[in-house]
Amino acid sequence: MPLLHLSFYSAFTLSSLGLAFHRAHFISALLCLESMMLSMYVALSTWPVENQTPSLILMPIFMLAFSACEAGTGLAMLVASTRTHGSDHLQNLNLLQC
């Protein structure tokens, strides 16, 4: 396995482990999701170059667009939950009370 692939896999794995184990604040969960999307974007950007396929060159652009939408939605949810609950702690959020 090349060093480049190992760095992508380790970045994605570390961010998913951070999402699984450090769920105290909503902002830390959003940062872990963004780092997962960033590692996937970089991996998708280098994949057509390594395989020399020009047909998949638009895939990273779509991934970046969906990542921006996900970040905007996450920040809107963060602001809304902070306004209604007073903090961004995930333990204060209960979906059954909505």
Residue that is written with structure tokens 């184990």 in the block? 21
Average pLDDT over residues 19-31: 86
Region at 4 (left for phi over 0; alpha for psi -120 to 50; beta for the rest) = alpha
Q: Does residue 6 have a pLDDT over 90?
A: no
Distance separating alpha carbons of residues 59 and 54, to the nearest angstrom:
11
Distance separating alpha carbons of residues 25 and 59, to the nearest angstrom:
31
Task: Print burial letters for 62-74: b (CB count within 10 Å at least 16), e (below 16).
Answer: ebeeebeeeeeeb
Query: pTM score > 0.85 for this model?
Result: no
CATH of domain 2-92: 1.10.287.3510
Average pLDDT over residues 83-98: 73
Mean predicted lDDT score pLDDT of the chain:
84
User: What pLDDT is stored for residue 95 in this prediction?
Assistant: 60
